[in-house]
Amino acid sequence: MTRFEQVQQILDQAVGGPTASVGAHMAFWRGITRNQFVVKKVFGRQLIVIGNGKGSNLVKALKGESPFGADIGVPGAVLNRMPSGLAPVSAASIAIIEKWIDDGCPDEDIQPAMPLVGAAAATLERTPIARRYPFAMPQHPRIATLAGLMREEKRNLAWIQNALQVAIQLELATLPPYLTAYWTIKSDPAGTASGAFFEIFIEEMSHMGLGCNLLVAVGGTPLIADPKIVPKYPGQLPGGVRPHLTVGLRKLDKPQLADFMEIEYPATGPVLLSATASKTIGEFYAGILAAFQTNNPTLSLDRQLENSVANIFKLDTLAKVEQAIALIVRQGEGTSTSPEEGPGDLAHFYRFGELYTGKRFVPDASGKWGYFGDSITLPEVHDMADIPAGGYQQADVPGLATWELITRFDKQYSDLLRELQNAWTHGDDGLLEGAIAMMGPLQRTGKNLVVKPKPDGRGNYGPCFRFVP
């Protein structure tokens, strides 16, 4: 008997046997494979979170933990403990299911209860992860910097997977500082700054999502909700991009806009700024594209997601890979011949530049581009203080209501990252839609924070973007 078959047996026994009839949700565990079971939804709820038994709805339902347990008085519960109306499943049986999920839902035979020692233990330790998972589990990148990756001569499939994980981390790292600055806008009658930030935010979401699709297309799984991966502020960008730059969570002002321009610095373009020895994001993506073109790997559609709001699309040909990478670079930096990502639509670097210089970036009569167009006025902003290293601690926040907002924001942000992680782990478009919907409450909490004055009179509080495991 395999461990999955043991789980099915426990669920059958819980309802009275393998032929017993089951109520509204039916016997959802019968007649399906392990791979079908781990991505199963019941009443719209994801049944399993691979690697997290305690957080899986199946375990919560059997234990009677919220949102399950309405019949036994669990606060906040909206559904009954399962199996509803029958005797509860024993703690020992639930522990078997929970351990199976914690171990990654392996489809392997039940092992003897005796501990493994010596050579047997060493053999188990060396068991390839592919034996326990139907796809590659998320991995920390072996090479963590762009410079290190670009020095590698052997740019094979493993290199592509490593590079794409770093790219995903880099795209994720831009979102908190951009959003924080956006949320501090108090009044922007012309909508110039708020419009620019909203469009840039949507496009950065697209870049991250396309990076995730590229990674799963070549057999990887994005690592998103991990304490070692989630960026900390103030801090450096992932991958060693702009190593001299410390990115913080600050209000919208000229120094922050200068940092944003550094992040989006173009490898080539119509405007030549100061030379730099560090790799740009565009150069890095060019290296990834070259590796795809050289290796021409098989592209799987399994677990790729699509979403029209965030412009995330599936990639099953090399041409679509080229399209996606070109889009990411063009929207961030522009091209070697134009600062526009499309007609009348400037790339991120130049949009930040307009706000920084207070001038529109336009071509003159000769076709030369520059910041010599109409004037732009920076919007009025809330006086948010720079978020300190490590974020605010409870001792820094005497007001309980403000502290509740700070901790609520961190939890909302962490839950959103977990939802994204699960979406690409299971290949579930519904989870991606759920993650995008979670941005609404996150924004409301963030905007509530940036208007809360600090008791020392030195500006307002703001979101910390801390990951809570």
CA atoms within 13 A on the CB side of 308: 0
| Interstrand relation of 185-187 and 380-381 (parallel, antiparallel or unpaired) | antiparallel
Regarding predicted confidence, which is higher, 81 or 22? 81
Residue 277 has a pLDDT of: 36
pLDDT above 70 coverage of the chain, percent:
90
Q: Is the pLDDT of residue 131 over 90?
A: no
Regarding predicted confidence, which is higher, 230 or 12? 230
Residue 111 has a pLDDT of: 53
Give me the residue label for tokens 């890979």: 321
Task: Name residue 396's amino acid.
Answer: D
H or E stretch at 186: strand 185-187
How does residue 337 score in pLDDT terms, banded at 50, 70 and 90? low
How does residue 127 score in pLDDT terms, banded at 50, 70 and 90? very low
Question: How many whole angstroms separate alpha carbon 361 and alpha carbon 345?
Answer: 11
Pairs from 88-92 (Cβ < 8 Å, separation ≥ 24): 88/62, 88/64, 89/10, 89/14, 89/62
Q: Is the pLDDT of residue 128 over 90?
A: no
- What is the b/e burial string over 168-201, where b = at least 16 CB atoms within 10 angstroms of the residue's CB? bbbbbbbbbbbbbbbbbbeebeeebbbebbebbb
Q: What are phi and psi of 377, to 5 degrees?
A: -105, 130
Question: Mean pLDDT throughout 389-395?
Answer: 95
Q: Which fold has domain 146-381?
A: Ferritin (1.20.1260)
DSSP 72-96: GT-TT--B--SSTTSPPPPHHHHHH
Q: Which residues pair with 363 in a beta bridge?
A: 369
Question: Mean pLDDT throughout 369-374?
Answer: 92
Task: Name residue 356's amino acid.
Answer: Y
Three-state DSSP state, 134: coil
Question: How many whole angstroms separate alpha carbon 357 and alpha carbon 372?
Answer: 9
Residue 367 has a pLDDT of: 84
Q: Is the pLDDT of residue 114 over 60?
A: no
Q: Where are the alpha helices (DSSP H) in 303-381?
A: 318-333, 348-357
Q: Is the pLDDT of residue 393 over 70?
A: yes
Check: CB of residue 468 under 8 Å from CB of residue 391: no
Paired tokens of 139: 């991995």
Task: Name residue 199's amino acid.
Answer: E
Question: How many whole angstroms separate alpha carbon 66 and alpha carbon 73?
Answer: 10
Q: pLDDT by residue (tens digit) across 136-157?
A: 667 888 888 888 888 888 999 9
How does residue 204 score in pLDDT terms, banded at 50, 70 and 90? very high
Q: Is the pLDDT of residue 56 over 90?
A: yes
Q: Is the pLDDT of residue 126 over 70?
A: no
Give the relative orientation of helices 348-357 and 318-333 as an angle to the nearest 10 degrees: 10
Check: CB of residue 379 under 8 Å from CB of residue 194: yes
Asked which of 28-42, 120-134, 248-262 is least confident by mean pLDDT, the reply is 120-134
Residue 282 has a pLDDT of: 79
Q: Where are the alpha helices (DSSP H) in 238-382?
A: 254-263, 281-295, 318-333, 348-357
Question: How many whole angstroms separate alpha carbon 152 and alpha carbon 52?
Answer: 35
Check: CB of residue 311 under 8 Å from CB of residue 331: no
Question: How many whole angstroms separate alpha carbon 344 and alpha carbon 361?
Answer: 11
Residue 276 has a pLDDT of: 39
Question: Mean pLDDT throughout 433-452?
Answer: 95
Q: Is the pLDDT of residue 112 over 60?
A: no
Residue 264 has a pLDDT of: 87
Question: Mean pLDDT throughout 95-118?
Answer: 70
Asked which of 29-33, 124-128, 395-399, 434-438 is least confident by mean pLDDT, the reply is 124-128
H or E stretch at 345: strand 345-346
Question: Mean pLDDT throughout 56-62?
Answer: 94
H or E stretch at 340: strand 340-342
Question: How many whole angstroms separate alpha carbon 271 and alpha carbon 339?
Answer: 8
CA diameter of the chain: 83
Asked which of 78-87, 103-112, 350-359 is least confident by mean pLDDT, the reply is 103-112
Tell me the torsion sign for CA atoms 378, 232, 441, 166. Answer: positive
Residue 270 has a pLDDT of: 42
Asked which of 12-21, 131-140, 257-266 is least confident by mean pLDDT, the reply is 131-140
Regarding predicted confidence, which is higher, 18 or 72? 72
Q: pLDDT by residue (tens digit) across 263-307?
A: 988 765 444 333 333 456 778 899 999 999 999 999 999 999 999
Q: What's the start-to-end Cα distance of the chain, in Å?
A: 34
Regarding predicted confidence, which is higher, 239 or 466? 466
Its pTM stands at 0.70
Residue 222 has a pLDDT of: 95
pLDDT above 90 coverage of the chain, percent:
58
Output the average pLDDT for the chain: 87
Regarding predicted confidence, which is higher, 35 or 389? 389
Distances (CA, A) of 123 to 21, 112, 118, 126, 131: 43, 15, 9, 5, 13
Check: CB of residue 249 under 8 Å from CB of residue 234: yes
| Interstrand relation of 362-363 and 345-346 (parallel, antiparallel or unpaired) | unpaired
Domain residue spans in the chain? 3-102, 146-381, 394-449
Q: Is the pLDDT of residue 177 over 90?
A: yes
Question: How many whole angstroms separate alpha carbon 342 and alpha carbon 351?
Answer: 13
Residue 39 has a pLDDT of: 83
How many other CB atoms are found less than 10 A from the CB of residue 277?
6
